[in-house]
């Protein structure tokens, strides 16, 4: 079941090398996607995965998933700081080609996996101290 964001994006299923970039976080990511109830685009970022939840690049929440669990930055940071982080992510998002995005599934939910070192670096830089 493709969501609205997936209709404008890729139709290619994520190959094994893409899924391997999720490392051991795939089960936690799958649980999150199943529970989210909204569109999710997952960006592997080294030791973690950033989930952009909602309608990126317009309106989205930022959820960080790593070996310690998951954190919704929207629940932890002041609105002004969040908007600065979103602006930086949004800028990188616009420059990330669609051919770096793949479909994946979690239960009966389809979500995107964006494999872009540039986007991952921009997310890590934007979130910086918020992830410490």
Question: What residues make up the domain containing 10?
Answer: 4-127
How many separate domains does the chain show? 1
- For the segment 54-78, what is each residue's pLDDT rounded down to a tens digit? 999 899 999 999 989 999 999 999 9
Q: Spell out the residues 6+ positions from residue 28 whose beta carbon is closer than 8 angstroms to its own.
A: 65, 69, 70
Q: Is 70 among the domain residues?
A: yes
Q: Is 62 among the domain residues?
A: yes
Nearest to 128 by CA among 88, 98, 96, 94: 88
Q: What percentage of the chain exceeds 90 in pLDDT?
A: 48
Q: Which of 5-14, 47-56, 88-97 has the lowest mean pLDDT?
A: 5-14
Q: Is 9 among the domain residues?
A: yes
Q: Is 132 among the domain residues?
A: no
Q: Is 111 among the domain residues?
A: yes
Whether the per-residue pLDDT at 9 is higher than 80: the answer is no
User: How confident is the model over 35-58, as a mean pLDDT?
Assistant: 92
Q: Is 120 among the domain residues?
A: yes
Whether the per-residue pLDDT at 12 is higher than 70: the answer is no
Q: If you write DSSP's letter for every residue of 74-125 in order, what string do you get?
A: HHHS-HHHHHHHHHHHHHHHHTS-GGGEEEEEETTEEEEEE--HHHHHHHHH
- For the segment 85-119, what is each residue's pLDDT rounded down to a tens digit? 999 999 999 888 877 788 888 878 889 988 888 99
Burial class (CB in 10 A: 0-12, 13-18, 19+), 54: middle
What is the CB neighbour count within 10 angstroms for residue 116?
19
User: How confident is the model over 10-26, as a mean pLDDT?
Assistant: 70
pTM of the model: 0.84
- Are 52 and 58 in contact by the 8 Å Cβ rule? The answer is no
Alpha carbon distances (Å) from 87 to 4, 27, 80, 117, 124: 22, 29, 11, 18, 13
More confident residue, 16 or 105: 105
> To the nearest whole number, what is the mean pLDDT of the chain?
84
């Amino acid at each position: 079941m493709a969501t609205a964001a997936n209709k404008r994006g890729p139709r290619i299923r994520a190959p094994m090398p893409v899924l391997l970039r999720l490392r051991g976080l795939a089960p936690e990511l799958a649980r999150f996607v199943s529970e989210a109830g909204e569109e999710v685009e997952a960006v592997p970022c080294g030791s973690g995965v950033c989930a952009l939840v909602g309608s990126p690049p317009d309106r989205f929440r930022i959820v960080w998933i790593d070996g310690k669990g998951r954190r919704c930055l929207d629940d932890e940071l002041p609105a002004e700081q969040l908007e600065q982080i979103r602006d930086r992510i949004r800028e990188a998002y616009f420059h990330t080609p669609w051919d770096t995005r793949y479909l994946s599934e979690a239960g009966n939910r389809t979500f995107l996996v964006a494999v872009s070192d540039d986007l991952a670096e921009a997310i890590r830089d934007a979130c910086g101290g918020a992830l410490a």
